[in-house]
Homo-oligomer: A and B are copies of this chain.
Amino acid sequence: MLALVKSYGQYCGLARGLDLIGERWVLLIVRELLNGPRRYGELADGLPGIATNLLAERLRTMQANGLVERTDDDRYQLTALGQGLRDVVFAIGRWAYPLMGPISEGDAFRSQWIVHPVSALFPGVDPSRPELTIEVRCGGEPMTVRSAAGRVTVQEGQAAAPDLVLTGPPDVVIALLARRIDAPDAKARGLAVTGDARALRRLRPA
């Protein structure tokens, strides 16, 4: 095996982990694959800014390191080891979230990027959560947030019969779901609401 990646050569768990995930783009590729298996072109689209040769090389290295494998239909998916990085991705996201300002002009955005922050807002199972289906439109493909049987899931695609449709910038949508702002504030910041926004209050306690 070619150890192309420069190892830190330190007997330390953090250093060993960074030998596998410390290179540029690796954790962002993991972010995309945490939502399920993806084709090469889908990954390239979800990683604006990556060069095609780098994506190919990273996928090869991640495969050699046991993070990624190919499916029967030639898509890429995380191995069990790769799935274990969910906690790492969420830990970094939680840490970085407070220092995210409003979205700026030069920032790229993909609608699937709201899956992790929204999932983090509604962890685990809470039977007191109401049945609720929300369609979110932040640009690109619409996303569906569904609360059912106490569990909240986020999927790509529009909802069949949403109770609520939120259309606007991603930072405003997330702030509203997190109840850091209320509906009038969100509307002042560019959000359009179809349906009864008061349903959100029962989804997440203040």
Q: Which residues of A contact B (CB under 8 A)?
A: 8-18, 20-22, 24, 27-28, 31, 48-49, 81, 84-85, 87-89, 91-97, 99-100, 103-104, 106-110, 113, 116-117, 170-171
With A87-B91, A96-B20 as known contacts, state yes or no: A171 contacts B108, CB within 8 Å: no
Q: Is the CB of B18 within 8 A of A106?
A: no
Name the residue of chain B whose CB is nearest to the CB of A6.
B24
Query: How far is it, in angstroms, between the C-alpha of A88 and the C-alpha of B100 when the chains are bound?
Result: 17
Q: Among the listed B17, B22, B87, B113, which residue makes an inter-chain contact with A11, where contact means beta carbons less than 8 Å apart? A: B113
Q: Is the CB of A13 within 8 A of B100?
A: yes
Q: Is the CB of B22 within 8 A of A103?
A: no
Distance to closest chain B CB from A103 (angstroms): 5
With A17-B93, A24-B22 as known contacts, state yes or no: A11 contacts B88, CB within 8 Å: no
Q: Among the listed B9, B12, B22, B95, which residue makes an inter-chain contact with A31, where contact means beta carbons less than 8 Å apart? A: B12
Q: Is the interface of A mostly helix, strand, loop or mixed?
A: helix
Q: Is the CB of A18 within 8 A of B92?
A: yes
Q: Is the CB of A11 within 8 A of B107?
A: yes
**Lowest 6 A-B CB distances belong to which pairs?**
A17-B96, A13-B93, A91-B91, A11-B107, A17-B92, A12-B113
Query: How far is it, in angstroms, between the C-alpha of A9 and the C-alpha of B113 when the chains are bound?
Result: 13
16 contacts between A and B (CB under 8 A): A10-B107, A10-B108, A10-B109, A10-B113, A11-B103, A11-B109, A12-B31, A13-B97, A13-B100, A13-B116, A15-B28, A16-B99, A16-B100, A18-B27, A22-B22, A22-B24
Distance to closest chain B CB from A98 (angstroms): 9
Distance to closest chain B CB from A12 (angstroms): 4
Q: Is the CB of A96 within 8 A of B14?
A: yes
Q: Among the listed B11, B48, B85, B89, which residue makes an inter-chain contact with A171, where contact means beta carbons less than 8 Å apart? A: B11
Distance to closest chain B CB from A154 (angstroms): 14
Query: How far is it, in angstroms, between the C-alpha of A178 and the C-alpha of B58 when the chains are bound?
Result: 34
